[in-house]
Amino acid sequence: MKKLMLFSIVVVMILLMGMGAAELSERLHGDRAPSYGPAAGPPATGAAPELPAPVKEQDWRLRIVSEAQPLEEGFSVETEEAENCYLFDTRAAQALRDFLAAGRAAGMDLEVASAWRDWATQETLFEDKVERVMAETGLGREQAEEIAADEVARPGTSEHQLGLAVDINSNDYPWLDEGWADTEEAAWLEANCAEYGFILRYPPDKSDITGIVWEPWHFRYVGREAAVYIMENGLCLEEYAAGLA
């Protein structure tokens, strides 16, 4: 009888030890079914948990401003002086200073012709262009505005209002026209802009996409990573942004 009782005790101990090992294994490997508090209980069968709406933060460096994507009325941005009273987005002002300094160190004659513009300034520039077109062509205002908008953005549709665009020329060539592209300075700017986070914003072969004619003097800050990719692959900002969507 004693032997039988001893045998039974040993069997029970082995079973208990086996259950403990299995529980330990489940804990280590995460195989245990989840436990629920007494108040909550398990989710109802077939009921999916409600998830928050996904949020995609817009990269301020890549914002596109155009006729199709105008700025909202009252748009504002914090700016600071980048050079000679010209203002630029505070987050990108140092990049512009570095860009210009590098060019000058390489012997380039570089001058800022335009940077950040407020709404009123853009209105004035556009109105002046419309009046010149009307005077030169005899066209009515509606047609003149369409022509003017190819060269001067309507208020709310100019990148200059973002504080991320800069027009650059030189003392030797102070004009903003296609002739600037033939200067040594223009060649240096296009070849080196990406290193400082800038792109040639309106290339000659992208007008059908950007809606803006070729502007070899107009550079846009987008950040170094995006700038290098855009310039190395011959893209415009619209094409790059479409690829990220």
Give the DSSP letter of residue 108: -
Q: What is the pLDDT along the chain (245 residues), one digit of tens a residue?
A: 444 444 454 444 544 444 444 443 444 344 333 333 333 444 444 544 444 444 444 699 999 999 899 999 878 899 999 999 999 999 999 999 999 999 999 999 999 999 999 999 999 999 999 999 999 999 999 999 999 987 888 999 999 999 999 999 999 999 999 999 999 999 999 999 999 999 999 999 999 999 888 999 999 999 999 999 999 999 999 999 998 86
Q: Which of these is catalytic: 215, 225, 232, 238?
A: 215
156 Cβ contact partners less than 8 Å away, ≥ 6 residues apart: 65, 70, 71, 72, 73, 75, 119, 122
What element of type H or E holds 211? none
70 phi-psi bin (left φ>0, alpha ψ -120 to 50, beta other): beta
pTM (global) more than 0.95: no
Spatial contact of 87 and 163, defined as CB atoms under 8 Å apart: yes
Spatial contact of 226 and 61, defined as CB atoms under 8 Å apart: yes
Q: Is 215 a residue of the active site?
A: yes
The Cα–Cα gap between 76 and 116 comes to: 11
